[in-house]
Structure 1
Amino acid sequence: MTSPTTFPSNWIPTYDTCDEVSVYCPVKYTTLGYYPNLGVNIFLAIGFGLAALLTVAIGIWKRTWGFSIAVASGCFLECAGYIGRCFVSHNPWNGDAFKLQIVSIVLAPTLVCAGIYLTLKHIVEAIDRTLSRVSPRLYPIVFIPADVSCLAIQAIGGGIAAAAGVFNYELLKHGNRVIMAGVSLQVVVLVAFGLLGGDYLWRARRHFKNGGHDSSPDGASLFTDKKFRLFLIAVAGAYAAILIRCIYRIAEMAGGWANPIMQHESSFVVLESFMLLIACWLLSGFAPGLFFPQMTSSSSKRAEGAETEKRGGVESDSPGMETA
C-alpha cells in the first residue's frame, strides 16, 4: 500500500490536481493544513449573519444609510466566508470554498473599517468642528480610499502569487511581499486614524473642561451624554479589535502561504475570527441610530442646513453669491 507521503513521479498535490482528501492528496498539503472546526465556523457564520441583519434593521429604522451599508456588507461577507470554511471542513481540497473564504474574510474588514471612518466625521460635526485639526469631511474622503488601496495592493499580491503557482518560487515570494506591504499599510492607515480620532476627543475634553460649554452648548451636552459615551466605547473597542486582527495578518503572512501560523487554527479563530465578530457586534449592538442619533440622515441634513444658513447670513450679502 502506498504511504501518504509517497507520490507518483512529478506529482504535486494542489487545488488543481486534488478534489478530495486521499492517499495522494493528504490534508497537510492544503494551504490550511487542517480540517476547520465545523461547529466553530457554523457559530461564526450565524453570528456574522445576525449582526448583518440587526445592522440593516436599525439602519432602515433610523436612516443611518452609509454606516449601515458599510458595516452590514462587511458582516454579510464575513458570513459568506465562514460558510465557505464550513464546506472546507468537509473537504479541505474544495478549491471554490477555499477561495470564497479567502476573498470574503480579506475583503470584509475594509467595509467594517469604512463604517468606523464615517463615525469620526459625524462626531466632529456634532461636538465642535472647530476643534478638529482637519475638516470633518476629509476623514472619510482620505481614510476610506486609503483602506481600499491597501486592499487593492493585497489583491495584486494575491494575483501575483496565484500566477506563480507552486513552480515559480521567486514570483511566489514577490507576491507574498506585495500582500505583506498591503497589510502593513493597512495597519499604518488604522493607526493614523486612531491618532487623529484620539487627538480630537482629547482636545474636546480639554475644551469643555476649560469652560467651552458656552461656545458649544450642544456639543458639551452630547460629550457628557451616557449613551454617546457608550457609543464611543463601542467604536473604540471595534477599532482595537480590527487593529489586532490586522497585526495578526502581518504575522500570518510573514512566512508565506501554508506557514505554521497560517496552519494554526486556534490563533486564526481568536485573532481573526473573533476579533471581527466582536467588532461587528459592537457596531451593530451600539448602532449610531440608537446611541448617536446625530448621525442619522435627517439630523445630518438639519446640521448641514443650519451650517449653510449660518454661513449664508455672513457671506451672501451680494446677489448671486452662494456658499458651497
Structure 2
Amino acid sequence: MTTELASYSSVLASAASVYESATSVLATATVKATSKSMSLIAAQAEATMSYYSLAQAAATITDPGVASSVSAQAAVASAYMKKLYDDNANYGGNAPNLAGNVALLVVMSIFLAIQLIYGAIYKNWWFFTCFTLGLILEVLGYSGRIWSNKNIASFDAYVLQLVCLTLAPCFLMAGVYYTIGEMTIIMGQMYSWLKPMQYSMIFIMCDLIAIALQAAGGAVAASALDVLDSTRGGANIMVGGLAFQVFSIGLFQFFWYVFLFRCYKSYKKYGDDCFDPQYASVRRRKIFLVYIGFISFAVLLVFVRSIYRLIELAQGFSGHLADTEIYFFILEALMMSLAICLLLITYPAAVYGRNTKIKVDKSVRALFENTQWLENARWFKFMQKKKDLSDGADSYKQEEEKATAPL
C-alpha cells in the first residue's frame, strides 16, 4: 500500500508541474497553435490530477460507503482521461501493428526492386516511371506506419503514411492507362472509342485533379491537426478528391470493357485476321489473354480500394474504418498488393516481347484528329480483299471439279 501511495504522489506531483507550466504559457501565448496545444496539455494534466487524487483518497479511506463513492468518481475521471486521449490521438489511439506493416514494407520493397529490374531490361519508360513513383509512395507509406508504431503521437509519421498511401494508386493507374493505349494499337484502333493517347490524357488529367484535391485536403487537415483544430474541412476536400478518383476509374473501366466487347464480337465473326496483322505475333503469345484478364482484375482491385478509402474518409479520421486496422489490411494493403503483383507477373513489355515496340503517337494531332473513319475504311478494305481471295479460291475449285468430272 505504501509503495502504491508513493506512486500516486509521484504522478500527482508530475501532473501538477505540467499543469502549472501549461497554464503559465497560456497566460502569455499569442499564437493560436500554442494556445490550443497548451490548453489540451493543461486539460490532460488536470484530468490526471483529478483521477490520481481520487484514487489516492480511495486507497486511504476506511469507511466502505465513502470509499465506494470516491472510487465511482475516480472511474468517471478515468473515463474522461481516456476520452481526452482518444479524441486527440492518431489512429484512435491504436498503434499500427508492427509485424503486419513491416511485412507489407518488405513486400512493397521487393515489388519496387522487381520493377527497377524490369525497367533496366525492357526500358518501357512511361509505365516504368509511373509504376516506380507509385511503389516509392507505397514504401514511404508503410515506413510511416512503422514509425507511428514506435511513436504514435508523431504528427509527421501520421501525415507521411496518410498522404503517401492515399496518392500511390494514382501513379500506378497512370501506368495502366498508357498500357491500355498500347492495347488499342495491338488489337486495332477501330475497336476503341478513344485514341491510344486519349486514355492517358483524359484519365491522367482526372488523376491529377484527384491528386490535387487529396493533397490540398491533406494539407488543410495537417494544418488543423497541428493546431488541434477540427480536421473535418480537410477530410471533406480529400473525400471530394477520392470521389473523383472513384468516378474516373469507373469511367475508365466502362471504356475498357466496351473495347474488349467489340474485340470479342469481331473475333467471333472473323477470327484473329480482323485485328492489326502487324501485331499478330503478340496476340499469339499464350500469356496475352492472361495479361488482359490480369489488367482487368488489377483495375477492379484498385477500384475496390478507392471505394474503401472514400467511405473511410467520409467517416472522418477518427471513424470506425480509420481506427480499425483489419479493414486497412484487407481493403487497402491486400487490394494494392494483389493489383501490383498481377501487373508485375504480366509486365507489359515482357508480354509484348523484348524486341516488339508499340509506337503510341503522342502528338497533339494524334490526340484530336478524327481518324476513326480511316481506320474503319482500312479494316473494311482488308476484310473485303480477304473475302475476294476466298471467293476466288472457291470459284477456281468449282471450275476444277467441273473439268475433272466424268462425262
> Does TM, normalized by the shorter one, top 0.5?
yes
- Report if aligned partners of 1:27, 1:92 keep a CA contact under 8 Å in 2: no
Residue 175 of structure 1 is aligned with which of 234, 239, 244?
234
Q: Following the alignment from structure 2 to structure 1, what is the Cα–Cα distance between the partners of residues 305 and 274?
A: 40
Q: Could you give the per-residue CA deviations for residues 83-137 of structure 1, whole angstroms, max 9, x where no partner exists?
A: 1211111111122222221221112111111111111100001111111112121
Cα distance in 1 for residues equivalent to 2:145 and 2:224 = 24
1:35 is paired with a residue of what secondary structure?
A: coil
Amino acid across the alignment from 1:112: L
Structural RMSD (CA): 2.9
Q: 1:149 aligns with which of 201, 206, 209?
A: 209
Contact 1:180 1:253 in 2 (8 A): yes
Distance 1:61 1:208 in 2: 33
Which of 34, 40, 54 is equivalent to 1:12?
40
- 2:150 is matched with 90
Residue 129 (structure 2) pairs with residue 69 (structure 1): yes
Q: In 1, are the aligned partners of 2:242 and 2:306 still within 8 Å (CA)? A: yes
Partner Cα separation in structure 1 for residue 276 and residue 196 of structure 2: 19
- Name the structure 2 match of 1:274: 334
Match of 2:89 in 1: 30
Give the AA of the match of 1:257.
F
Pair member with larger Rg: 2
Unpaired segments ≥5 residues, structure 2: 1-7, 24-37, 42-80, 375-407
2:366 matches 1:299: no
Contact 1:238 1:279 in 2 (8 A): yes
Equivalent position of 2:316 in the other structure? 256
Aligned equivalent of 1:210: 269
Contact 2:178–2:197 (CA under 8 A) maintained in structure 1: no
Q: Which has the higher contact order (CA 8 A, sep 6+)?
A: 1
- Secondary structure of the equivalent of 1:258? coil
Which consecutive unaligned segments of at least 5 residues does structure 1 have? 14-22, 315-324
1:1-33 superposed Cα distances (whole Å, 9 cap, x missing partner): 469xx99576426xxxxxxxxx89957742212
TM-score between both structures, scaled by the size of structure 1: 0.81
- Counterpart of 1:268, as a letter, is F
Distance 2:284 2:310 in 1: 38
Provide the TM-score with structure 2 as the length reference.
0.65
Measure, in 1, the Cα distance between the counterparts of 2:265 and 2:281. 15
Within the candidate set 117, 120, 124, 2:180 is matched to: 120
TM-superposition CA deviations, 1:234-278 (whole Å, max 9, x none): 211211111111000111111212112100000011101111111
Checking the alignment, whether the CA contact within 8 Å between 1:27 and 1:93 is kept in structure 2 is no
Post-superposition Cα deviations, 1:10-67, rounded to whole Å, max 9, x if no partner, equal 6426xxxxxxxxx899577422121111111111011011111111211221121111
Query: Residue 292 of structure 2 aligns with which residue?
Result: 232
Q: Aligned equivalents of 2:241 and 2:281: distance in 1? A: 41
CA–CA distance in structure 1, aligned partners of residues 339 and 87 of structure 2? 32
Q: Is the 8 A contact 1:231 1:292 kept in 2?
A: no
Structure 2 CA distance for aligned equivalents of residues 34 and 168 of structure 1: 21
Q: Which amino acid aligns with 2:205?
A: P
* Structure 1: distance between partners of 2:276 and 2:244: 39
- Identity rate, percent: 26
* Equivalent pair of 2:90/2:153 in contact (CA under 8 Å): no
Structure 1 position 143, deviation (Å): 0.4
Distance 1:30 1:91 in 2: 11
Give deviations 1:190-221, integer Å, cap 9, x for gaps: 00000100110110010111116434353666
- The change in CA–CA distance for 1:239 and 1:192 in structure 2 (over 3 A counts) is same
Question: How many Å apart are 1:167 and its aligned residue?
Answer: 5.5
Is the CA contact 2:282–2:288 (under 8 Å) kept in the aligned structure 1? yes
Q: How many aligned positions are there?
A: 292
Shift in alpha-carbon separation, 1:77–1:235, aligned structure 2, 3 A: same
Q: Tell me which residue corresponds to 1:138.
A: 198
- What's the counterpart of residue 73 of structure 2? none
CA distance in structure 2 between the aligned counterparts of 1:154 and 1:297, rounded to whole angstroms: 40
**Which structure dedicates a bigger proportion of its chain to helix?**
2
Q: SS at the partner of 1:149? A: helix
SS at match of 1:36: coil
SS of 1:262's equivalent in the other structure is: helix
Report the CA distance shift for 1:200/1:300 in structure 2 as closer, same or farther (over 3 A): same
Compared CA separation, residues 167 and 81, structure 1 to 2 (3 A) = closer
